[in-house]
Structure 1
Amino acid sequence: MKKLLFVVTVLTLAAASWFGYWASKPITQAGEPIPFTIEPGSSGVGAMRQIAAAGVPVDPQMLSLLGRVTRKSGNIKAGAYELKPGASPMDLLDQLVRGEFAQESVRIIEGWTFRQMRAAIEATPALRHDTKSLSDSELMARIAPQYKQPEGLFFPDTYLFAKGASDLQVYKQAHAMMMSHLNAAWEKRDPGLPYKTPYDALIMASIIEKETGSKAERGMIAGVFVNRLKMGMMLQTDPAVIYGIGERFDGDIRKKDLQTDTPYNTYMRAGLPPTPIALPGVQSLAAALSPARTDALYFVSRGDGTSHFSGNLSDHNKAVNQYQRASAP
């Protein structure tokens, strides 16, 4: 009897040792991550079967036993995951309990319009497209009902999300991020700026974003437009006119475009346009609310990505002749 008990004890210890070794051994050593999904409402056994059925080379019964032994089976979270090379069965189980879902991303670029942002989100297959059938105004009603137009209200950045997440989550995150950056810049704004609300500053930031690709010049561009607003001058900014043309814009702005009245034609209408014209980044927000102190009222492109600034129309016309007309074909 003692011999039998000894044999059983030895076998039990050996099995426990082997099970511990199995639980800590990498499931795969190399290769691409293996995606799998745990459906909502799945039992522990059901979850392990789904993992194996997705191509993860692990025995579902052994994985289920590990979940029961460690009392983690009841805490598994549904969602989309990836098994990374080098992960052991215990690592996998801990991942399921912590809900470390597979991360995807979508990048929103500074200076994009909201239409371009929507196109990028709709072209992201890892998202669940819950808002695709919504109009812009219907979408805003779900995010920030106080705004009817979405332009400019979303911060350009790279957003991470769990595979299969709703696209509404990305929109809400991008809007919250923009409001955070805008409000922070508003609180630190220079005194005496010609803005009544943070939204006015957002409009200005979007114009700055589209007017220059040179980060170093954004403060000066802002200074010119702030000076014009204070003096009651027309902003005369081509990007706003182009935005007003919309999808009809073919890449060339013509004299007739500058003479066609739209709410965004800043050659014909004083003050700021009614909405932002693009998604501004943090540097354009900062420039709009802390512009350079300058006497300049005009600027013209030098053709190399930088601008020449002038304090009066005579000097500006000379600069136009020097940098644009002289180089025209």
Structure 2
Amino acid sequence: MNWQEVKKVAKEKLKPYCRVCPVCNGVVCAGEVPGMGGVGTGSSFKANIEALNRYKLNLSTIHEVRQPDTTFKLFNETLSIPVMAAPITGSTYNMGGAITEEVYCEEVISGSLMAGTIGWTGDGADPLMYGSGIEAIKKNNGKGIPIIKPRAQDEIIRRIKLAEEAGAIAVGVDIDGAGLITMALKGQPVSPKSPKELEELVKSTSLPFILKGIMTLREAKIAYEIGAKAIVVSNHGGRILDHTPGVAEVLPEIADSLKGKLTIIADGGVRSGVDVLKMLALGAEAVLIGRPVVVAVFGNGREGLKLYFNNIKNELSQTMLLTGVSSVMNVPRDILRG
């Protein structure tokens, strides 16, 4: 199957939760939470796309680059591309349930590995959600990263131990999940965390700890100070708070202050290899991709995801060649205009 065929199958399976639009930009699905849209007006989801689109690339073809290097190292794991599958749960109430939670997690982890990269798994109101991710990671020799909602401390630590037992590469909390409507509807208490509480979580595990959902320099600094090994600059796909800026808008300020001190990952609006290179130029070291991963998996399982990531790799390599970038580990900001 080619990508267009994958999208066609996914469109049928995801009705009416996702229309698999020609451009996944949050316009048609605005306000559809639960579902695949952005909360409220959908402004935050749309802002992620708009912020990336404001940047243009400087075409450059007078240089020595012949074979761009797309490999990236995360916590001693070498990945074929600096691109990973974002943690997404809720197959039934966000995606329509044509694929079960267990199968979705298995396909994301396996498909990511087939493409030479890593899948992240999530947490949700149903215990099956986090457990499905842990089982998929365990089946694949720990090659995955589980992310936990900001629950009560003891509940997070219990889930961290499950990640350790599964041999996971790292573990983390999506702190922005404190505002999830779907969690509230299911009676699952989540809340913001103090720096002291986050430090307790970091110290509870020997695994690298990731704090996902950072959108300000102040909170990025807190993440560094409490010992997080990585942050994900993210507004949760625009599903938490209406009218936030786009990720590409806040990323440079955070990267200028903290790059080299901890790993900076960007999550918000990345749809192509071109978008990946833009995020790297703005200071990220890697990116997460969410909604298109859902489309890939619903369209053709792990093979669909492998195809999508391979397409991203080819686009990224071509874009590097045409901007004079030799390695994803060193992407200068001056390839951008805007």
What TM-score does the superposition give when structure 2 sets the normalisation length?
0.23
* Larger strand proportion of the pair: 2
TM (norm. structure 1) is 0.24
Bigger Rg over Cα: 1
